[in-house]
Structure 1
């Protein structure tokens, strides 16, 4: 829920409007009680006009803020459209989750709402009640207007920076780093009691032929798994549960997403089968789009989209593709130093109870390279950066990760051989692939450098 609200534009502006209404109702009442007790030195800094002047000021503030808010929304929508069409539709979440944009919209709407709410309290001497001008409240409205003007200037500067592709890729990279730090421990970290962050040594568990098939409760993208709830359900049923779809996968309601089987040779009772089926359906959350909450491959998907879009004939920007591959290389090198593959949850006796699938290095490397290698096959700069990526990954990974790098290197060499490059370009690419093979051989002989 928190992650969903963070990516929406409306919660913070709505909170700003509510606070503005409260302030617009409460501050004039306080103003009326204290209007004769304000010290003279403070009165010199407050609004000193009559009721007509106060109404003019508040009306001007409300009218101008409506225009500014409409402009801000228009610029935000244009930015979202640009990011979607020029780079990737999966970047829209990055913009809607931008706290700067949300805060700016909240400030504008709050100022507009506050000015309108205070305007209703201004009374002239011809009203049924005696005249009243909330000097403090009007002064606060003026200060909010100054803050809104400053916020507009800063918002335009922020927007101009955010629509740069380098900033977008940096934001995606930062989000991926946070996800990796939160979900994946380093290889040398041993699993602990309870929710173990990593996998035991050995092959992942496979369901027996008579295992209970678990089906998805709703269609959508798998966004998160409630590890604690699944662990409690399996301990209560003395079972082992496997979710064979990792976050980011597309689920269809009623189709298999995993299995459960007794930890002993006994069969499940009908009641246990029903409880496990219900717990699995409730413990797996689906949504209309992928998120980076538990999806470690989502940021690589975004970077690959940017690279593929940059290599399209309509854009033809191989430099952006090379920069995207540089970010992908940094993420893959970081992921290679983490515990990848199945994520096991252990009970208090350190027995495996839940097996959650996560992408391994081969899947992540395939995600990062397949499309750029296909769409950039005729561009030497892109193939050169892919070769450098493989060398960097070989230099930082363990011997256990050599096989995916070897496979990618074989594909890269086949791609280079199939192209009609100039002899100089072919020689440079061949030398880069040779360096990848050399790095793999050195890493196999000596291990990664300390």
Structure 2
């Protein structure tokens, strides 16, 4: 229902912005909104397991209707050099072949779906429930299920067109259609073998962590602007006392913020907007998600505040779970979940935790190339109209370090991995504010290590790593 709601809302916003007053001012915002909505709908559909198999089934049914009709037109007109490669049995043999294909493929589909569910359950219980989205959005799994279900649906559709010569009727055996069903069955057998190999590879923790890290870096490349030499971090604005709070109209995680709509609404109302909630934050209905105040010395009317409230509620989208659409920290949260799950007493897998810290290091080093922190949007005259909250590097670093250093405090391997991560970040970071934040985390981990009952060899190793990192400061 989420994507249906988004499609309907996208169409309504396009119609509202294409007609009526203010059409010229808001046409660019309307186009940007439609593009953003399309991207959000594509992300929602990509994370579902059923759209690709559904398309395959529909295509198979259409092919199962069209190919027998082609067979009927070409009946007896094909050259012998071609017919010798086609199905040459009678109606009973065609029914048996198609029935066998349909029966076997629905069994294989059930097996494939069961294996996928078992894999998702294992990943959820052992690594993190947030990794389930990676499995459900796996294109290989979706296309394999589509192949199996399409072959099943095609065989059933063609089966209904086979006619025997009993009771005075004319026998009709769609040779091309049955041959295509045979080819699809053979491709499905090969697909099953490849799918099993793919599933074995996907369940490995190394593959999961690499997938999450790659997705996080791709997400940052599409959402963030590269850093310039003179870029400085911008903090949250000073909110005046005479401000108006805008409440959320729904509960859930904030999954999308449409800055184009918010900027156009703020310019139209001659106001300044501050969205205090970041993408990925949990939001409760009837709590304040944004503040607005007049841009100049004027005041708001009740009508302008109500219209601004409507625009803000339309620009903010909520969901039952976090997504990677606009959430910069979602990938790091997944990696952190894997780390702390590996450090739990029931699993006790410090090697996996160290690997997760390394993957988080790769993502953090990549994020240093982009502008992080709150964003400010200006109108054509250079007046700040919109402040949108985004996590800065300190927030993301704290996300990665806080829980691993707490749950891995008694393991020198984890502390060594964290110190190594900070040392590698110091070798890349150039911003003094970021370097101070890294140094602060390093000092905390040093204090945690000194408070533990490690032997002299482990203490010396941690001390050497910390001293090497301190020299880079």
Matched, 1:19 2:51: no
- Within-5 A mapping of 1:155-174: 155-174=195-214
- Within-5 A mapping of 1:99-248: 99-127=139-167, 129-188=169-228, 203-248=235-280
Q: What residue in structure 2 maps to residue 364 of structure 1?
A: 396
Tell me the distance in 2 between the aligned counterparts of 1:202 and 1:344: 8
1:133 deviation in Å? 0.5
1:116 deviation in Å? 0.3
Equivalent pair of 1:200/1:344 in contact (CA under 8 Å): no
SS across alignment from 1:248: coil
Q: What residue in structure 1 maps to residue 31 of structure 2?
A: none
Tell me the distance in 1 between the aligned counterparts of 2:251 and 2:271: 26
1:200 deviation in Å? 7.2
Tell me the distance in 1 between the aligned counterparts of 2:162 and 2:374: 66
Q: Deviations over 1:189-237 (max 9, x none)?
A: 88xxxxxxxx876543222111110111211111111121111111111
Tell me the distance in 2 between the aligned counterparts of 1:134 and 1:292: 48
Tell me the distance in 1 between the aligned counterparts of 2:350 and 2:318: 35
Q: What residue in structure 1 maps to residue 423 of structure 2?
A: 391
SS across alignment from 1:218: coil
Matched, 1:307 2:307: no
Equivalent pair of 2:339/2:353 in contact (CA under 8 Å): yes
| TM-score normalised by the chain length of structure 2 | 0.89
SS across alignment from 1:122: coil
Matched, 1:321 2:353: yes
1:128 deviation in Å? 6.3
Tell me the distance in 2 between the aligned counterparts of 1:245 and 1:129: 72
Tell me the distance in 2 between the aligned counterparts of 1:122 and 1:422: 79
Higher deviation after alignment, 125-134 or 68-77: 125-134
Tell me the distance in 1 between the aligned counterparts of 2:258 and 2:327: 14
Equivalent pair of 2:372/2:391 in contact (CA under 8 Å): yes
Distance of aligned partners of 1:421 and 1:347 in 2 relative to their CA distance in 1, 3 Å threshold: same
| TM-score normalised by the chain length of structure 1 | 0.94
Matched, 1:437 2:470: yes
Q: What residue in structure 1 maps to residue 368 of structure 2?
A: 336
Equivalent position to 1:269, from 301, 306, 319? 301
Q: What residue in structure 2 maps to residue 249 of structure 1?
A: 281
Matched, 1:402 2:435: yes
- Return 5+ residue gaps in structure 2 as ranges: 1-40
Tell me the distance in 1 between the aligned counterparts of 2:237 and 2:168: 81
Tell me the distance in 1 between the aligned counterparts of 2:400 and 2:220: 16
Distance of aligned partners of 1:314 and 1:203 in 2 relative to their CA distance in 1, 3 Å threshold: closer
Tell me the distance in 2 between the aligned counterparts of 1:242 and 1:227: 11
SS across alignment from 1:354: strand
Tell me the distance in 1 between the aligned counterparts of 2:126 and 2:235: 43
Tell me the distance in 1 between the aligned counterparts of 2:341 and 2:65: 51
Tell me the distance in 2 between the aligned counterparts of 1:308 and 1:354: 37
Tell me the distance in 2 between the aligned counterparts of 1:276 and 1:282: 10
Q: What residue in structure 1 maps to residue 379 of structure 2?
A: 347
1:348 deviation in Å? 2.5
Equivalent pair of 1:218/1:252 in contact (CA under 8 Å): yes
Higher deviation after alignment, 18-27 or 398-407: 398-407
1:9 deviation in Å? 0.3
- Return 5+ residue gaps in structure 1 as ranges: 191-198, 441-450
1:127 deviation in Å? 4.9
Q: What residue in structure 1 maps to residue 461 of structure 2?
A: 428
